[in-house]
Structure formats: C-alpha cells, structure tokens
Amino acid sequence: MTNATEYVQRIQNNIHQKDTGQVEFLQAIDEFMPSATQFLEKHPEYIKRNILGLLSEPERIIQFRVPWQDGEGNWQVNRGYRIQYNSAIGPYKGGLRFHPSVNLSILKFLAFEQIFKNSLTGLPIGGGKGGSDFDPKGKSDDEIMRFCQSFMMELSKHIGPSIDVPAGDIGVGAREIGYLFGEYKRLKQYDAGVLTGKPLDFWGSKIRTEATGYGLVYYVKHLLQAEKDSFEGKTVMVSGSGNVAIYAIEKVQELGGKVITCSDSSGFIYDPEGIDLALLKEVKEEKRERLTAYAEKRDSAVYHAGQSVWTLKETADIALPCATQNEIDETLANNLVECGVKIIAEGANMPCTLEAVNVFEKANVWYCPGKAANAGGVAVSALEMSQNAQRLSWESEQVDRQLDEIMKNIYQTCRQTAAAYGNEKNLLLGANVAGFEKVAKVMYAQGLV
C-alpha cells in the first residue's frame, strides 16, 4: 500500500498542476496537507478509498454572468459564483461575498476551509462559498437591488433549505440578503430557510451579527480558562473595523480586556486608553466613515495612515486579526512575537501566511486557526436554520449561550485531537484533523459519490 506521505504528496502535486495560479486556494491546500498526512498515517484505510482525492475536488462549481442596469441606464455585467464543495454531512453552507477581489481561487479557498469549519461546529452542514466581483461600495440602493435580483435569478436554480443555504460575507449584509431573499421568494415561493443572516423581521436569528466576533473571543476565553487565566487585564490588538472586529472588541471589553487598535483599508488607530466602542460604532456603523473620523473625535487616539496594525511596536498579550487574508506575513509575525503576544486567534479567514504560522509555532505562541476560532458565524447561521425549520425565534440569551457552548466544544476538540497526535499546543493540527476525520468517515460510509 502507498504510504501516507507519498499519497498526500501525489494529491498535492496534482492539485498544483491542475490549479496553477490559484494562489489562495493552493495556500489553503498546502496548509492542510501536513495534517492530513499525520491523520492518514494512523488511518490508511482512507488512502485505499482515495478519500483525500475526492475531498480535494469540489462537488460542483457554478459560474454565471450577472447582467444589471446602473443608475445611468448603462448595461453592466459581473461574474457570479457558487462553489458547492462538499455535502457529506449536510447541505452546502457558506457565505456570499461581493467584492472586486472575488475570483475562483479565493472562493475555492474559502469553500475548502468551510468544510472543516462547519464540521467542527458539530452541526449538520457541508461546505460551500459564493459571490461576485461586484462592488456594492458607491452604488445606490436601487443599483444594489437590481444586481441582487439578477444574481438570485441564476443562483435560485442551485440552492434550497436542504440543498445549499448561503449567508452573508464581505459586501453582503442585511440589505443585500433582503434583496436576495425577496427575489428568491418571487421565483420560488416563501421559504425562510433558504438564506441565513436575514433581518429579524423575516426570521433572522438574534446574535447573528455579533456571532463571529463573539465566538472568536469565546474560543480564546476557553483557551485562557484551560491555562488558568482570563481576559482580565489583558492588552489586545485587533485589526479590521467591520462586524467581526467590532463585536470581538465588545466581547473582549465585557470580559475585562483592553483593546488598543483597530483598522480599515486606509490605516489603523492606536488608542492606548482603549478603543471607545460607542464612538467606533458611530463612525463605522452609523455614519460609515473612515477611521480618521474616530481619531478626530478621540484625543487619545493616534491614526497611522497606510500602515498595518501589526507594525505597531507596543506590548500586547493577544492578537485578533479580523480584516482579510494574508494580512500577517513572516516579518509582521516576528514583530508580534517581539511585542510579547502569546495568543493569535484568527477572526478573518487565513489572515496569517504559512510563514507567519511557522514563526508562531517556533516561538511557542498559541495559534488559533480561523477554521476553528471564527466558526461562530456559521454556527449561529446553522442555529438560524434550526429556528426557521421549527418556525420559532429564540431569544438572544439562548442563542448566545449555545454559541459559547459550541465554541467551547470546538476548542476542546482541537486541543484533545492535537494531544492525541502528540502536540496539544498545535491547534491547527487539531482543527484540521478533527474537521477532516468527521467528513472522511461520512464520505467512506456513503460510498463513491
């Protein structure tokens, strides 16, 4: 029988040959494969069935054009995508991203990661992702409505409550979900369970907006508790200023920590007295302004234009990257180690390069990968699906309590699995193996499908 190393290397080389140029997707593959090797050394039966080869190929990739008319009456066209990657443990589940950077590589990487993230939640959901290179920024509500209606005209042929349940992501908030849901309803009849992240008025879930940020902090909370520690008195660096960052900051402050940074695409804020959450929400959620407006209204804040948060040379205990992929490279990772950071937990998807992760591992820093640490968003999306199926709406306290329990279980699963493979501090290994093992078992049981 082929040994695990040879088998995984062959799969990896084959993907690199087939998907040359898909940088983000190949990075996700390369991050996952060492963990797969360790798992398959213990479970060679999956090599014989080529489970890794089957898992690495998306079940379905849908690409379509999205024609729409702008406010001047001009005809425009964008690309739409849906990657239905793996449905072994449930319907495809993953967000829709509207952003100019969207391409096949980014969506494949996100959908591949989503398989393991969804598996780790313990909920019956498979992995998928989708979106478009459409940019909602600078567009009128009417233009966004027309785009969303055109996008859903095609997407509706491929989704459903028991088939594929999209949610929001970058560029797709309550407004966009509302327009998408309205068009689906017109085409297919009312079905609340077809999209998650809906406004509360039509069967959205409480805590969904906060879920990813809250869940990220809950994951770290349980790590700290296991180490006989807490957030009390901790200094925390955060990147980003969207939903994930804002609600991570909120929960850190509730638990007694002090957050000293946040950022947007123009630069970052350093506030040694601690981020003023009410002011940040006013600037980013109500007025939708740049962070320069925060600095203008806050005497203690220093704005660093055009720079990364992670260049800051200030002592901190915990770093929560919540902005975008590959925001922390090897150089920035070394800076964080020099600043005394002991825990890195990813609120964004793959914000650390492979080289950065190696820096953290060598420095004995706790590295909490996004597929585990930021799973709170999709977990509450799955809870929204449950509420929709029951025709019930749960109170915030119930959803929040379940979210905390799910994140506790994810953390414990990652650490226990890592320990079983000889390195309990390697939470990336634990997340990859635990997520993969569940999906592999089900794929094996279901046969060649």
Going through 6-74 in order, the beta strands assigned E by DSSP cover: 60-69
- According to the model, what pLDDT value does residue 59 have? 98
- Sort strands 235-239 and 267-270 into parallel, antiparallel or unpaired: unpaired
- According to the model, what pLDDT value does residue 232 have? 97
Give the pLDDT band of residue 384 (cuts 50, 70, 90). Answer: very high
Q: Has this prediction a pTM greater than 0.75?
A: yes
353 in Cβ contact with 331 (< 8 Å): no
Instruction: State both tokens at 273.
Output: 């007295």
Q: Which residue has the tokens 């929960």?
A: 251
- According to the model, what pLDDT value does residue 285 have? 87
21-32 confidence digits (pLDDT tens)? 999 999 999 999
116-136 confidence digits (pLDDT tens)? 999 999 999 999 999 999 999
What is the 3-state secondary structure of 296-357?
Answer: HHCCCCEEEECCCHHHCCCCCCEEEECCCCCCECHHHHHHHHHCCCCEEECCCCCCECHHHH
Residue type for 419, please? Answer: A
- State percent of the chain over pLDDT 70: 100
Give the pLDDT band of residue 288 (cuts 50, 70, 90). Answer: confident
410-442 confidence digits (pLDDT tens)? 999 999 999 999 999 999 999 999 999 999 999
35-67 confidence digits (pLDDT tens)? 999 999 999 999 999 999 999 999 999 999 999
Residue 108 has pLDDT above 90, yes or no: yes
Residue 314 has pLDDT above 90, yes or no: yes
- According to the model, what pLDDT value does residue 286 have? 87
Give the pLDDT band of residue 183 (cuts 50, 70, 90). Answer: very high
Q: Which of 241, 250, 253 is nearest to 294 (CA)?
A: 241
Catalytic positions are 129
- According to the model, what pLDDT value does residue 190 have? 85
Other C-beta atoms lying within 10 Å of the C-beta of residue 65: 10
Task: Produce one character per residue of 233-271: b if its CB has 16 or more CB atoms within 10 Å, e if not.
Answer: ebbbbbbbbbbbbbbbbbbbbebebbbbbbbbeebbbbb
Residue 1 has pLDDT above 60, yes or no: no
Q: Which residues contact 423 (CB under 8 A, 6 or more apart)?
A: 429
- According to the model, what pLDDT value does residue 200 have? 92
Between CA 160 and CA 413 the distance in angstroms is 30
Q: Residue 316, Cα to own-chain centre: how many angstroms?
A: 24
Residue 2 has pLDDT above 80, yes or no: no
Average pLDDT of every residue of the chain: 96
199-245 confidence digits (pLDDT tens)? 999 899 999 999 999 999 999 999 999 999 999 999 999 999 999 99
Give the pLDDT band of residue 192 (cuts 50, 70, 90). Answer: confident
